[in-house]
Structure 1
């Protein structure tokens, strides 16, 4: 804690430190949820914890604000857990090791948890303070946002009465979000059959890609490790007739995969090596700007079993032809992605191979189009496709009062024009709007960079400014 104790705002970074002492990968949130409940009990604050481990903590208004509308401060407690090459970090038991570098706070070769621990830290700091004015407050902290918004899906309005909701799950200071994309995952499954066949094989390893958030960074057209692997495998299969023995890539449905690998068996060993060398040069040139550290290694290995020829061919064809990345840009907001998809994970299970693809769109018809395309490709390659984890878009509200108030407060505080925008990513606001239809919502946050990667970091000075803004905004809502 010594590295953070002198950083302002001290209360915010104190609670961020405390949160990062508790492992909280998506799906492993009981300890952090119980921590939040105990925080409330120690301060005699009303708290509720549901079966999904969502937590709601209530704090009464300060004097003079008793008759104002209740404000919901909202974020999620889980984090994407990714570590870099060589890291020995164990996300099931180890605290996040944080490093301060001038205005930067980062972790030691792992994700930082700023997405969305910083929102929870803001909320706890506000509940723990007694030196500023505010309306009645409800801190809502949800679970498993990163893996399908499961907490928000399970939430009801039983213990929520707020008429204004401040979602602090955005990553660019001074940009107030008022709309977001909806989406769904498509799980494509190939039945797996293997046969004994031994010989000298090649392991193809793709690494060094930037990856990143599949909503925020998809517009940057970074390389997708699964798609690059598909191109390599397709070339080798067309020219030299290979058989797959193993394949793996990606870790999270909402992260652009930065690495992948496959083991292949071929009778045309030297030719396959030459083909891989040739396409490696092409891919490095193609992605020299977006992914300059792309690395493709080839290692000789022994193989004793392979996928059947039909499954091997179908799988390679699927990875080759499946679309990826930006599909349509918004016709209403310049520079905003309307529809995209991210081929996120491929993993071998006991009797199958599963490919997880995350699809996002602000248009329900475009979303359906892409899901249908994936279904058709699966059918044509003898696989089955199943949709999961659907979540709605958050529609723009032209009459939002909190939007106008937030812009006004920010510009008064910092003499800098704020921006009102939309985001090509899923925010919980879409689901929360369904259970709180009359609640006025906005999303904002401090500057966060490279989230969902081991390079994630946040700006310390931006955290301070957003804290000043949040305190002033609450004071103004009378």
Structure 2
């Protein structure tokens, strides 16, 4: 076991992971990390290209004796999800990620770690920097905005590649080889706010829901964790049935692909309203703690009076439409695969609700391994938008990655894994978006696979990475590259 962080950073993979962790690289803020990768390649006299989407493409010639092996496309993404615990003073636009070693796990300090997918970048850099690892010709592509729109992969030019083997390093469980993934799309409805003059004699309350685990909306959606936006919608609906109120603002969640952990609404009631709001909220906390006693036992619901008295509030119609949207927008697992036991086939996550002076926006991440089912959920959201007189739009539509029954690269990875560890790896499909789907659509001739080390609680401030697993996966990758000389006979 490594005893100190400095000891861990002596390993080439963690050396480069620490370097890139010092560079802010949230989705859409990748210019600095992209430039760093370009400089890295140029300093080593490697052929490199930075395209308009800030993707970085780097080539390294084959080791002696490996010239006959098809070129390897090695792929990961440079951006990360930026989440932090409430009250944490961290600026993701400028501050480095502060690394911590706890036993054999690497954490950040109250923020996401960025191992998803910084560890792929670190593997690639360690491989490019080496002079003693046998390998075929390498074509390394590090993409941008994977966590939001997959813009980098979608805009990558297929003409730049000559490789036939595609290795994606954006998986999160050691010993599992990914061979298929879901497609996805982001759906948004913008509900225009009609404001009305606030009457006299109102009392304001802020209702807050917090303490949920959250998690990746693809990898964790089947765990039944609470969605703060949907739960807040239920509470507001219940309150509206008992006593009319007016909304002033509502916000919840930060990323469409992260299950929201917190949500809040500011509402106003007549000061003489015959309703015990604190008691009602306390009752709701009891109900939700019971419902989520296993999946989200830490849920908390609070209410506090607000001193501010606004001049305007949402109209009755707008308040009704907001609550209707929260109640009707689908969320959670929609269907399970009938072919692969335990695999979520279709799901959707109401990840973000935001309000400003003009509109309330609802943003959902829709996923499915079946294109027609993905479109069905899009249409359902569109109909709800029409019902609530909201503008509807979609973005970041990316394809599913279909399973290839006769995969030569999968057989190679299985053989090497069994030789190293004595047991075969697990072959799995996942309910999350991988760039493999984009690249197999662009390059239909490639044979693709995805792997990675053990990561936990990704897309949350509790994200952590297993140091031993990262090192074993590095050794496994090197062994596969070395064995390609024998596996792909000329």
Structure 2 Cα separation of the partners of residues 8 and 386 of structure 1: 45
Question: 1 CA distance for matches of 2:443 and 2:248?
Answer: 50
452, 456, 468: which one aligns with 1:461: 468
Q: What is the aligned partner in structure 1 of residue 283 from structure 2? A: 278
Residues 466-477 of structure 1 mapped to structure 2, 5 A cutoff: 466-477=473-484
SS of residue paired to 2:462: coil
Which residue matches 1:370? 377
- For 1:87 and 1:174, locate their aligned partners in 2 and report how far apart those are by CA, in whole Å: 35
Matched ranges for 1:133-172 at <5 A:
133-172=134-173
2:264 corresponds to 1:261: yes
> Which among 276, 292, 298 is matched to residue 293 of structure 1?
298
Of 329, 338, 344, the residue aligned with 2:351 is 344
Give 1:381 shift.
1.9
Q: Residues of 2 paired with 1:321 and 1:50: CA distance?
A: 41
For residue 321 of structure 1, report the CA deviation from its aligned partner: 2.2
Distance across 2 between alignment mates of 1:349 and 1:299? 21
In the alignment, the residues of structure 1 paired with residue 406 and residue 9 of structure 2 have an alpha-carbon distance, to the nearest angstrom, of: 35
Q: Larger deviation: 396-405 or 377-386?
A: 377-386
Residues 394-452 of structure 1 show CA distances to partners (whole Å, capped at 9, x for unaligned) of 01111111111111111211223211110000000111112211111001100000000
Aligned twin of 1:117: 118
CA contact (8 A) 2:284 2:301 kept: no
Matched residues in 1 for 2:5 and 2:305: separation? 47
- In structure 2, relative to structure 1, the CA distance for the partners of 1:467 and 1:9 (3 Å cut) is farther
Matched, 1:432 2:439: yes
Moved over 6 A (4+): none
SS for the counterpart of 2:276 is helix
Aligned to 2:404: 397
Deviates more, 1:5-14 or 1:394-403: 5-14
1:235–1:275 CA contact under 8 A, matched in 2: no
Q: Is the 8 A contact 2:281 2:302 kept in 1?
A: no
Does the CA-based 8 Å contact 1:178-1:442 persist in structure 2?
Answer: yes
- Name the CA shift for 1:408/1:76 in 2 (closer, same or farther; >3 Å): same
Q: For residues 228-271 of structure 1, what are the alpha-carbon distances to aligned partners after superposition, in whole Å with 9 as ceiling and x for unaligned?
A: 10000000001011111110011011000000000011122643
Q: Which residue of 2 aligns with 1:82?
A: 83
**Secondary structure of the corresponding residue to residue 90 of structure 2:** coil
Structure 2 unaligned blocks of 5 or more: 486-490
8 Å Cα contact 2:73/2:140 also seen in 1:
yes
Tell me if 1:303 matches 2:309: yes
- How many residues get paired? 477
Residue correspondence of structure 1 range 206-245 to structure 2 within 5 A: 206-245=209-248
Whole-angstrom distance in 2 between the partners of 1:3 and 1:353 = 47
CA distance in 2, matches of 1:416, 1:238: 58
Q: Is the 8 A contact 1:5 1:13 kept in 2?
A: no
Pairwise CA distance, 1:89: 1.0
Per-residue CA deviation, residues 346-382 of structure 1 (Å, 9 max, x unaligned), is 1113411110011000111211111111111221122
1:424 aligns to what SS in structure 2? Answer: strand
Distance, in Å, in 2 between the alignment partners of 1:366 and 1:193 is: 34
Equivalent-residue separation in structure 2 for 1:417 and 1:435 (angstroms): 31
Separation in 2 of the partners of 1:279 and 1:4?
Answer: 44
Query: Which shows bigger deviation, 172-181 or 152-161?
Result: 152-161
What does residue range 310-325 of structure 1 map to in structure 2 within 5 Å? 310-325=317-332
Does residue 448 of structure 1 match 2:455?
yes
Identify the residue that residue 193 of structure 1 maps to in structure 2: 194
| Residues 1:5 and 1:70: Cα distance change in structure 2 (over 3 Å) | farther
Unpaired runs of at least 5, structure 1 = none
In 2: Cα distance, 1:418 partner to 1:337 partner? 21
Superposed CA deviations along residues 308-357 of structure 1, whole A, max 9, x for unmatched, are: 11001111111012221001000000100000000010111341111001
Post-superposition shift, 1:162? 1.1
Contact 2:282/2:302 (<8 A) preserved:
no
What is the match of residue 421 of structure 1?
428
- DSSP-derived class of the 1:277 partner: helix
Given that 1:70 and 1:164 are in contact with CA atoms closer than 8 Å, whether structure 2 keeps it comes out as: yes
TM-score (structure 2 length as normaliser): 0.95
Q: d(CA) in 1 for partners of 2:274 and 2:183?
A: 46
Cα RMSD after superposing both structures: 1.3
Which moved further from structure 2: 102-111 or 273-282?
273-282
Deviation at 1:158, TM superposition (A): 2.5
